[in-house]
Chain A
């Protein structure tokens, strides 16, 4: 069980692209040797900005809803796990449907793996690998009551895509958390202001 009092906070604007999280993620016992965190450049031609993506651990995970094998489970502590190995048939529904682009399907292995909050660590009271090594604290795993004092920006757990609402366990840091974050594809089209 991961303590209910701990939260995972991501803050892409703090990311310096050092890839320490990627290296550390690969060391985790639940997905040995394969990093589950994504580190993406936003638009390399105009900016050096990078962004880390971990699973948002949705309250009603779309990945699980679209899985034909019922292979994706959310435990009571709100952690959405990698596919159950005996069940996953590698169809990629989850990979293509996750609102945040998180799951990775390994073809040939016919298996989906994803960020599972380093369950072998967090279920025993340790931080996830990435949050342990991130030097700029773009990835932060701390008690929930501490976060408001640590940052000017505050955690936001609600996102909208069109009219669809997605609530998540993992939070994104924004100045105005009262308003759900609208993910509008138009931002991708105009170069996004970078």
Chain B
């Protein structure tokens, strides 16, 4: 435990991360038929992926333990454990298409950002969807029997069809990673150009958080492409060195996954849960502000925020037993600041504040005052 304290690691997420990694290890063992279908050339990648899984899941589990995250996680958990989930499923799929696959919210933030992000995101996903099954030994390609011109594909150690070497299928299979690399390089370059010209980003970006991940992704893609160049046009010259460089860059990327910006990939699906939560809240209705009467806060969020305030030791923010600070809309909170200043100044906003105002004999239709 002293070591954990020194490293500032929490025991519960640590155990959960270890279990998650063990589960992934078991899936790898199962899918590769006890390791028999693992490619020895890819063992370095496998170890780095398992480490990344441990790091990412540790950070993910710790993140879920934050009281504010827990507020939404519990709601999502309740939703998935209830039979109602079947009714929500079509909506969830649609949301996932919009928010995770098409990422249209980024397009609304900025089209340039969306373009760059889409190339990087889809390039990476394409790359991972090919490499991960290969690294885990779930998919392998061998030459078909003694025929050097045919390739055989194996899925979980079972034959899954063969194709001739020069066929379009072979071309796509062996070059899909090149396509992914081009997408990532183009996306990262666009992102760099955008960051160079954007005064706002220039002021707030940090090299380690915002620029380094782009450089690492470019390094992975360029070394990957160089492998093809060496194989196709240089007769395999320097292939081993390039392969080593590629492995090194990929391992650096995998090891940095839990620490850097790319962690948002696993965080982002939370947006789906929040969107459904908001829809529930709209259906339940909004509550009025206790300062101005305008409807503003969704009933479910009002309840959950009060619980969250208690957990965060903020519950003292009550004006009276019946008025929590959460019951005031943002505008009334802003007005309150000026009103409190005014009170301190002895009403000096209004130099005539102590001249008595008498009610008009005829009610003034423009004022609420009697």
Contacts and interface: CB of A to CB of B under 8 A. Distances in A.
Interface of A: 11-13, 28-32, 38, 40, 42-43, 45-47, 49, 51, 53, 62, 65-70, 81, 85-87, 89-93, 95-102, 108-111, 116, 119-121, 123-124, 153, 161-164, 172-176, 181-189, 191-194
B126 to A, nearest CB: 20
A99 B68 contact: no
A31 B314 contact: no
Contacts of A32: 200
A46 B349 CA distance: 12
Contact of A13 (B199, B318, B342): B342
B317 A189 contact: no
B218 to A, nearest CB: 18
B147 interface: no
Contacts of A189: 291
Pairs of residues from A and B, 7 with the lowest C-beta to C-beta distance, nearest first: A29-B199, A101-B330, A163-B316, A101-B333, A120-B203, A51-B338, A30-B200
B204 A30 contact: yes
21 contacts: A28-B200, A45-B367, A62-B314, A67-B68, A68-B71, A81-B204, A85-B113, A90-B105, A96-B326, A100-B333, A101-B328, A111-B105, A111-B109, A161-B318, A162-B319, A163-B318, A164-B317, A182-B340, A188-B339, A193-B343, A194-B339
Interface stretch (B36-44, B84-92, B148-156, B266-274): B266-274
A188 B335 contact: yes
Contact of A90 (B271, B344, B366): B271
A10 to B, nearest CB: 9
A173 B331 CA distance: 20
A194 B202 CA distance: 44
Contacts of B277: 91
Contacts of B292: 188
Given A46-B369, A65-B312, A119-B203, A175 B344 contact: yes
Interface of B: 63, 66, 68-69, 71-72, 99, 105, 108-109, 113, 198-200, 202-204, 261, 264, 267-268, 270-271, 274, 277-278, 290-292, 297, 301, 305, 308-309, 312, 314, 316-320, 323, 325-345, 347-350, 353, 366-369
A124 B204 CA distance: 12
Contacts of A175: 344-345
A185 B305 contact: no
A38 B314 contact: no
Contacts of A47: 349-350
Contact of B317 (A85, A86, A161): A161
Contacts of A192: 335, 339, 342
Contacts of B320: 185-186
Contacts of B369: 45-46, 191
B252 to A, nearest CB: 20
Contact of B325 (A29, A81, A162, A187): A162
Main secondary structure of the interface of B (DSSP, over half): helix
Contacts of A99: 317, 325, 333
A162 B317 contact: yes
A100 B301 contact: no
Contact of A42 (B271, B301, B309, B335): B335
A85 B113 CA distance: 11
A120 B199 contact: yes
A109 B108 contact: yes
Given A90-B274, A161-B325, A172 B341 contact: yes
A42 B338 contact: yes
A108 B105 CA distance: 6
Given A45-B367, A66-B305, A193 B69 contact: no
Chain B CB within 10 A, most for which of A49, A65, A174: A65
A161 B337 CA distance: 11
A176 B344 CA distance: 8
